[in-house]
Structure 1
Amino acid sequence: MQGIFGIYKPVGPTSFGIVAELRKITGVKRIGHAGTLDPLAKGIIVVAIGAEYTKKIHEAVAAEKEYVAEIKLGETSATDDGEGEKTPVSDRKPEIAEIRETVSKFVGKIDQIPPIYSAIKISGKRAYDLARKGKYPIMSPRKVEIKNIEILDYSYPLLKLNVTTAKGVYIRSLARDIGSALGTGAYMSGLERTRVGEFTKANSLTLEEFASKFKY
């Protein structure tokens, strides 16, 4: 049992939890994945099963990705998503024209500061581990590319976007920065990754579907 597959992760499990389940299903220990999704996010994770294919996982890491993001305006979150402690910022309701103008400024190559609660390593330790111990690391900006942002819906305080990115983009950071630019504050209240390279919802499998086809 080996190959590269798109697995559709539901809200709840971690990406590493999905890999652990795949090891049980396949009996294969050598499994890698590209592009971690937070537990509160759902969508496609690309997994490589078997030594031959884990060597190729970097191709999926570099692939273009597409997301549907829900952003809540009016307050910030300590984790930049729905899990963290919220802080009210403003009850001002931006008009759709202002929203369009603001989000357009984030399309292209931009400097983005990753969330403090992220898996990035700082002096050999995960940033989220440091943050949970009250040692909030200074996160350096990274050059990333956002290829397109489409407004799908806006009904204050919720803004729904379709976002196409190159590798390394944090949608939580994008939500935070849009809120900062608007002066309202914002955090990512929901996220679905709908595409990774050639993998879409149509050609990806849930764990249950994968198990029914490939359980050893």
Structure 2
Amino acid sequence: MHGILNINKPAGKTSRDVVNIIQRLVRPAKTGHAGTLDPLATGVLVCPVGHGTKLIEYVQRMPKTYEACFLLGRHSDTEDIEGEVQLLADPPQPTLDEIEAVLPSYLGAIQQVPPAYSALKVAGQRAYDLARQGKEVELASRLIEVYSIEILAYDYPELRMRIECGSGTYIRSLGRDIARDLGTEAVMSELVRTAIGCFRIEDAIHPDDQLSRGTIVAALQPTSLAATQLPQVTVDHEEIVRLAQGKVIEPAVPDSAEEVAAMTTAGELVAVLVPGKEGGWRTTRNFANDYL
């Protein structure tokens, strides 16, 4: 029971709800998820199982693709329709050309202030807990990366966009900032995560289907998919034995690599390797014993 599940999270369920459903079926194996989706949002929720849980951070590094709908001329304390939505008095109605003109400034590495209603911690407490208590929440801006933004449809007040971005990006806050650049406000009304790296919504299973331990086993994808963003090296049996013993190996690694995925000749993930202190490459994630 080791691998990665690609789940299509339905609206109304938290990411934790989905993990709990899977956990009951895969025990004693562990599970988790690699990137929270709010209850309003739907789409790809990657849930590693067993050894896959040791690779969550590598899935989190993968680019994410979203399709979002924003309603212009509206404000919400949560930045989406889950909060108290207020219509602005006589807001401007930007043209499609005006919207397209501001989008380039949101590409690349940019600073973003996360929403007050988020799971980030402030002095040890969740920001959304403080916000719900009516307390002022000030979150520092942080660096995010946006790879592409495409307008899918625009019929005021409804603006639909496809966004590809890195980890830590709040899509509702991106819509907030774009709207403010246009002299108005916006709330997010829909959000679908269509992909995380190679995990795509077309291949996802639905947690409301008749899930069982058997259907989960059948749907598990190999843990090697979590390491597709890393340079890869092939290791032989002797090297696998050394890795299982906690020893370093000396594979042919690209000069610029800081981390590599050690693979069997069949393309199975043996370990994630980092440079050893005294030369060679040592494991930081080690599954070598599974191949002996």
Q: TM-score, structure 1 length as denominator?
A: 0.95
Query: What code does the residue aligned with 1:73 have?
Result: L
In structure 2, the residue matched to 1:213 is 215
Residues 209 and 111 of structure 1: is their aligned pair in 2 closer, same or farther, counting only changes over 3 Å?
Answer: farther
Matched, 1:53 2:52: yes
Worse-superposed segment, 22-31 or 149-158? 22-31
Contact 1:94 1:182 in 2 (8 A): yes
**C-alpha deviation, 1:164, in angstroms:** 0.2
The range that moved more, 123-132 or 152-161, is 123-132
Tell me which residue corresponds to 1:9.
Answer: 9
Match of 1:159 in 2: 159
* Aligned partner letter, 1:184: T
Q: Matched residues, percent identical?
A: 42
Instruction: Tell me what 1:177 maps to.
Output: 177
Write out per-residue CA displacement over residues 146-198 of structure 1, whole angstroms, 9 at most, x where no aligned residue. 00000000000000000000111000100111111111211111100000010
**Aligned position for 1:86:** 85
> Could you report, residue by residue, the CA deviation over 1:107-134 in whole angstroms, capped at 9, with x for unpaired residues?
1111000000000011111101111111
- 1:22 aligns with 22
Equivalence for 2:71 = 72
Identify which range, 56-65 or 27-36, moves more after superposition. Answer: 27-36
Matching residue of 2:283: none
Match of 1:119 in 2: 119
Q: Deviations over 1:74-131 (max 9, x none)?
A: 0111100111112333432111100101222211111000000000011111101111
Q: Aligned AA for 1:178? A: I
Q: Residue 162 of structure 2 aligns to a residue in which SS?
A: strand
Greater than 6 Å deviation, 4+ residue runs? none
CA distance in 1, matches of 2:115, 2:188: 11
Alpha carbons of structure 1 residues 79 and 178: separation in structure 2 relative to 1, 3 Å:
same
Report the counterpart of residue 196 of structure 1 in structure 2: 196
Residue type of the alignment partner of 1:214: I
Structure with max Cα Rg: 2
Which residue of structure 1 aligns with residue 246 of structure 2? none
Structure 1 stretches lacking a partner, 5+ long: none
Instruction: Write the distance in 2 (CA, Å) between the matches of 1:214 and 1:111.
Output: 39
Give secondary structure in 1 for the equivalent of 2:202: coil
Count of aligned pairs between the two proteins = 215
Partner of 1:103: helix, strand, or coil? helix
What secondary structure does 2:119 align onto? coil
* Runs of at least 5 residues in structure 2 that lack an aligned partner in the other structure: 218-292
Distance 1:31 1:162 in 2: 29
Quote how far apart the aligned CAs of 1:205 are.
1.2
| CA-to-aligned-CA distance 1:21-44 (integer Å, 9 cap, x gap) | 101222345211111000000010
Counterpart code for 1:172: R
Ranked by relative contact order (alpha carbons within 8 Å, sequence separation 6 or more), the top structure is 1
Give the superposition deviation at 1:210.
Answer: 4.7
How does the TM-score come out when normalised to structure 2? 0.71
3-state SS of paired residue (1:58): helix
Which residue number in structure 1 is paired with residue 61 of structure 2?
Answer: 62
RMSD of equivalent CA atoms: 1.6
Instruction: Find the aligned partners of 2:216 and 2:183 in 1 and give their Cα distance.
Output: 50
